[in-house]
Amino acid sequence: MKKIFIATLFSLIISSSNAAIHVVLVGQGGNKFAPTDLNVIVGDTVRFQWVSGFHTTTSTSIPAAAESWDEVIANSGDEFDYIVKTEGKYSYVCTPHAAMGMVGSFTATQSVTGIASQYASIKESANITPNPATDHTTLIFNSDIAFKGFLKIYDNSGIMISEEKLKVEKGENSILVSTSLLKSGLYYVNLFNQEDVFLVKKMIKQ
């Protein structure tokens, strides 16, 4: 079934060939990680991506066999990829802003039907045009599963501009994205399921 949604943003999937990449935006909306909690599969990557401010991502509590980390994320283009190799609960903080509640976590499990396989068809089929956008653009993709989620857009300073509920049907989906009210510039577009952000894309509005 083909279903058309109207939204104020779009996104394209980020993944590797064999595992998902879960993007955590650092400094999103101030001294925050976004999202603050994830469910991941062993073999996935958690990518910490700078949005604003001077921050770190520093592990505080991890499974016994896992590797700790302590990385500065402070400038445009800064990213840190953590490949999850061990099951369990992982907690982390931004050292300068821990007292202000800048904390996050993710839980890793073993599974052969994790996020990477669930959304693989979206990654393989996603096509959007035009980009850069003027008044609108369209995202078309095929999904192997039906799910409810959210489309969110953030400006370059990490402030959320809009949030739309999204109901993806199994099969072909077409999202007509209105960008007419956005100012010219760079935006971060996010696609969430009910728990995780699994798809992030930079979008330029002309």
Give percent of the chain with pLDDT exceeding 70. Answer: 82
Whole-number pLDDT of residue 68: 96
Query: Coil, strand, or helix at residue 14?
Result: coil
Whole-number pLDDT of residue 129: 78
As a whole number of angstroms, the distance between CA 76 and CA 101 comes to 23
- The mean pLDDT value of the chain amounts to 81
Whole-number pLDDT of residue 13: 32
As a whole number of angstroms, the distance between CA 106 and CA 108 comes to 7
Whether the predicted pLDDT of 40 surpasses 70: yes
Whole-number pLDDT of residue 7: 37
Whole-number pLDDT of residue 11: 31
Whether the predicted pLDDT of 39 surpasses 90: no
Tell me the per-residue pLDDT of 79-112, one tens digit each, with 9 for 90 and over: 999 999 888 899 999 999 999 999 999 998 875 4
**Domains of the chain, first to last:** 3-15+115-205 (2.60.40.3080), 21-109 (2.60.40.420)
Coarse DSSP helix, strand, coil percentages of the chain, rounded to the nearest 5 percent: 10, 55, 40
Confidence of residue 117 (pLDDT cuts 50, 70, 90): low
Omega of the bond leading into 35 within 30 degrees of 0 (cis): yes
Whole-number pLDDT of residue 16: 39
Whether the predicted pLDDT of 9 surpasses 50: no
Whether the predicted pLDDT of 5 surpasses 50: no
**Greatest distance between any 2 Cα atoms in the chain:** 51
**Helices of type H across 34-175:** 115-118, 120-125
CA end-to-end span of the chain, whole Å?
A: 33
Whole-number pLDDT of residue 54: 97
Mean pLDDT of 163-171: 87
Tell me the per-residue pLDDT of 67-78, one tens digit each, with 9 for 90 and over: 999 999 999 999
Whole-number pLDDT of residue 3: 40
Confidence of residue 64 (pLDDT cuts 50, 70, 90): confident
Contact 122, 75 (CB under 8 A): no
